[in-house]
Structure 1
Amino acid sequence: MVPTPPDGRAGIDAALVKRLVAAQFPQWSSLSVRPVQVDGWDNRTYRLGDTMTARLPTAAGYVPAVAKENEWLPRLAPSLPFAVPPILGQGAPGEGYPFPWSVRGWLDGETAARERIADMTRFALSVAEFLLALQHCDTTGGPLAGEHSWYRGASPAYYDEETRRCIAALEGRVDTARATAVWEAALAAEWRGAPVWFHGDIASGNLLVAEGELTAVIDFGTSGVGDPACDLVIAWGKFSGASREAFRQAVGQDDGTWARARGWLLWKSLLVLSGCVDTDEEQAAVNQRLIAEVLTDHELFG
């Protein structure tokens, strides 16, 4: 489980960012500081002038990502077909804020909502192109999957107890027998391949588009070196029909990798559903649909 940040959002606001920048990067102290329009949970991000951002972790569990991204994004970027965040500086704790933070270049584009994508099949192929390029990056010295990646890139077995608890809690809300079959197939399909780079959170909010096309991939906080199965969950979360099939063919993974990918999707959707099934009808419906699709996918391809 991801910890809840203190003060809801770690007490981070524009005034704090302004003080941190003035103290540690005085050359940028005259620049405006304002929240980004679409923010994440792990970090708070602020526009710094027109060409930069300041990105601050909201809790201690997200701190390892700062040094990891700062070290590895510049190394990975030249081998990737789409832009990734440029690293311009690393900040230190200060002004009452307890964690390291970073300054990055601003990437133009909007998050990949369906209505912003010109052609979903072409977009699926672009995502596949990015993932294949990432998997071909040199892994020498790269961070092996583990706590820093929230165990993305490792076996989904790390979440076995949590998943089975969610399945039991959702009896009557989902087909628990079929869900258990999908989960056990994911655990049985042990990964034995050579470790490769994975992103860990390939989802609409971390994919930027401009003029209908993929232009950038952001938020490598859960990235690392290990099993790429976790990066395939977008097949159900974003794609369907022709676009899903195009993505499936383009990434070219074996049956075991797809089985583990279904496990990753199932774990997350069960977890979210168990927390909102009686409180958020819209969110519950989304996750029930995802679960139903991955159960059917297992029966067709598993």
Structure 2
Amino acid sequence: MDEKALVRTLLEEQHPDLSGLALREVEGGWDNRMWRLGEDLAVRMPRSPRAPELLRAEHRWLPDLAPRLPLPVPVPMRLGAPSARFPHLWSVTTWVSGHPADLAPVTRGTRALAAFLTELHRTAPEEVPLNPLRGGHPREAVEDLEEYARGIADPAHMDGILEVWQAVADAPAWHLPPVWLHADLHPANVVSREGDLAGVLDFGELCAGDPATDLAAAWVLLPDGSADAFFAEYPADEATVLRARGWALLRSLVLIQIGRAGDQGLPGGKPTWKPAGEKALSRVIAPFP
């Protein structure tokens, strides 16, 4: 049975009221393969070992968060149970219209992103998990930044990378209560419409921690020269801005690495991520204030 037929059969067995809707495969996805269901819904089918738990976390928390967020997000509507046909949990969510920003970059979104993160970054309940590798200090996420960067970045950029990283490494850690985090904001996880930031996708990494990890989006998602305007809309202290820049540096390098793997035809590679990462890196290492 091909995958489309499998999805249709699972819907017929577990959610028959949805089984008659049109089903179209959507390109992309990392942990999950996605299918558009009718005009307003999507089916997400795990394809990595960790994907079912990420879907479960979204189903637990996102319906409570979504009503106060000022941008559309994929709200979980149904869970599919593991079965003999498909041994993993799967999900039906609302559909968020737009084009992934690795294909159609955001050219206008400073205020929209600042408003979104202002609403998201409220103190998280104690039961929301912490994730130091995504919501801690960026210096905790990589053992040797210089060694990692030299394997990815253009050698001409290394001085700028190391200058930024030194300032980041010296920045104090977040000392206030952990806040809600998306924790995976990069161009493939947001959508644009005619250049406007139009929605935020994939909350599987949802956790609590330092807002700096999300504030990295000021460099990773927004066009050149937008960071100052963003932080005028989302006031943050100097240390938080530095940590955000550090997370933006790391995220840019990851995008380039995954994009390069795509250029080489390697599994998991995403060719469109390389130019997005290179543009983000150029913004991050622009002359440091």
TM-score category of the 2 structures, normalised to the smaller one: 0.7 to 0.9
Q: Tell me if the contact between 1:170 and 1:176 (Cα under 8 Å) persists in the aligned partners.
A: no
Shift of 1:63: 2.5
Distance 1:179 1:28 in 2: 50
What's the TM-score once normalised by structure 2's chain length? 0.82
Q: Aligned AA for 2:88?
A: F
Alignment of 1:127-276 (within 5 A): 127-136=113-122, 139-146=124-131, 151-161=133-143, 163-169=145-151, 173-189=155-171, 190-210=173-193, 213-241=196-224, 243-273=226-256, 276=260
Q: Tell me if the contact between 2:80 and 2:90 (Cα under 8 Å) persists in the aligned partners.
A: yes
Range that drifts further, 38-47 or 208-217: 208-217
Please say if 1:89 is aligned against 2:71.
Answer: no
Of Structure 1 and Structure 2, the greater helix share is in: 1
Range that drifts further, 184-193 or 238-247: 238-247
Shift of 1:273: 4.0
Shift of 1:266: 1.8
The residue aligned with 2:111 is 125
* 1:57-78: CA deviation from partner (whole Å, max 9, x where unpaired): 2211233211111111111122
Distance 1:249 1:77 in 2: 25
When residues 182 and 212 of structure 1 are mapped into structure 2, their CA distance, relative to the original with a 3 A threshold, is closer
Q: Give RMSD over aligned pairs.
A: 3.2
The residue aligned with 1:3 is none
The residue aligned with 2:284 is 294
Q: Aligned AA for 1:39?
A: G
Q: Which runs of 5+ in 1 are unaligned?
A: 1-10
Distance 1:255 1:156 in 2: 15
Please say if 1:43 is aligned against 2:26.
Answer: no
Q: Which runs of 5+ in 2 are unaligned?
A: 265-270
Range that drifts further, 263-272 or 228-237: 263-272
Distance 1:211 1:285 in 2: 19
Distance 1:291 1:214 in 2: 20
Q: Aligned AA for 2:59?
A: N
Distance 1:202 1:282 in 2: 16
Q: Aligned AA for 1:30?
A: G
Distance 2:275 2:225 in 1: 23
* 1:23-62: CA deviation from partner (whole Å, max 9, x where unpaired): 22223233332212x4322211112233321111221123
Q: Aligned AA for 1:169?
A: G
Distance 1:12 1:269 in 2: 36
The residue aligned with 1:110 is 99
Q: Tell me if the contact between 2:254 and 2:277 (Cα under 8 Å) persists in the aligned partners.
A: no
The residue aligned with 1:27 is 17
Distance 2:135 2:96 in 1: 26
Q: Tell me if the contact between 1:163 and 1:270 (Cα under 8 Å) persists in the aligned partners.
A: no
The residue aligned with 2:90 is 101
Give the secondary structure class of the aligned counterpart of 2:155.
Answer: coil
* 1:64-105: CA deviation from partner (whole Å, max 9, x where unpaired): 211111111111122212222222111122244332111112
When residues 254 and 67 of structure 1 are mapped into structure 2, their CA distance, relative to the original with a 3 A threshold, is same
When residues 96 and 14 of structure 1 are mapped into structure 2, their CA distance, relative to the original with a 3 A threshold, is same
> Matched residue pairs, number?
281
Identical pairs, percent: 32
